[in-house]
Amino acid sequence: MNTPDPEKNNSAYFAPAKPRLPFPKVRSNVPLITPFAWVAAGWQDMRACGWASLFYGACFTLFGWLLTLAYREALEFLSGLTVGFLLVGPFLAVGLYALSKQREAGEPIRLLPTLTAWKTTRGAIGIYSVVLIIIYLVWARASMVIFALFYDGPGLPSLPILLAEVAQLKDMEFIATYLIVGGAFAGFVFALSLVSIPLMLDLDHDPVTAMIVSVLALQRNLPAAIVWGGTILVLTGFGLLTGFFGLLLTGPLVGHATWHAYRALVEPPGPHDETNV
């Protein structure tokens, strides 16, 4: 009768320690106009990826239409969810980051693997997405409260009426409150998500580290980050104001450009940077 080997049995339960990457190195003082180079590089990625990029653009457009259809009779929800659309954009763009990474590595452009790119770091991205969802739900609720407290019209307006009032600068107290509160939520999420998902996708960092790195990248490159945030706002706003049709192009463009923003703001690990736990 063979005697079990304790060391052999233990090896089945105790795998070798997983190498741990050091805290990422965040670059500082990126030039103010650098975000425009990210957009140009993103455009080149779009052209190279072709229909794969447009597939994700179609997903952005379809998501916008579904929101409009589902909440067309509840504008206070639609307005909150439209801004929520901006909040969850980085998560929806995971496939675009994966496409840019394929092109960067000189690999053939393949759509199918990018559809499940999130699986390689699903735990980290899952936790991060829960954080975004919580913020998004709080904002949706805050949007309802702002309508209830500050909107002076008879009942809730339709979307065309609301846009007309904004264009005519009517009910400025409501507009100012909505923009200030919505801007605060969007700014907070922007700080947490500047490079979070690309970092998790690329190096499999945990979500806390990824969000800290994003905040540091914002703090150390504030002027460029403001220009980048404004660029995202313009491109995404164009997509929304065209009935979501524009997102067919601007959605993928922002996603690809975000990958290049990550590459510019975070230094890749060197060959000797890994340390064992």
Residue 188 lies inside a defined structural domain of this protein: yes
Note the pLDDT tens digit of each residue in 64-112. Answer: 787 777 666 665 555 556 655 655 666 678 899 999 999 999 999 999 8
Residue 220 lies inside a defined structural domain of this protein: yes
Distances (CA, A) of 3 to 10, 150, 263: 14, 79, 54
Residue 16 lies inside a defined structural domain of this protein: no
Residue 209 lies inside a defined structural domain of this protein: yes
Whole-number pLDDT of residue 54 = 93
Residue 275 lies inside a defined structural domain of this protein: no
Return the closest-CA partner of residue 69 out of 81, 59, 57, 58.
81
Instruction: Write out the chain's pLDDT in tens, 277 residues.
Output: 455 555 444 444 443 444 566 889 999 999 999 999 999 999 999 999 999 999 999 988 888 787 777 666 665 555 556 655 655 666 678 899 999 999 999 999 999 888 888 777 778 888 888 888 888 788 878 877 887 777 776 666 555 666 666 666 677 777 788 888 888 888 888 899 899 999 998 888 889 999 999 999 999 999 999 999 999 989 988 888 888 899 999 999 999 999 999 999 999 876 655 543 3
The reported pTM is 0.79
Residue 211 lies inside a defined structural domain of this protein: yes
Q: Any residues with CB less than 8 A from the CB of 17 and at least 6 apart, and which?
A: 276, 277
The total of structural domains in the chain comes to 1
Domain containing 90 equals 29-267
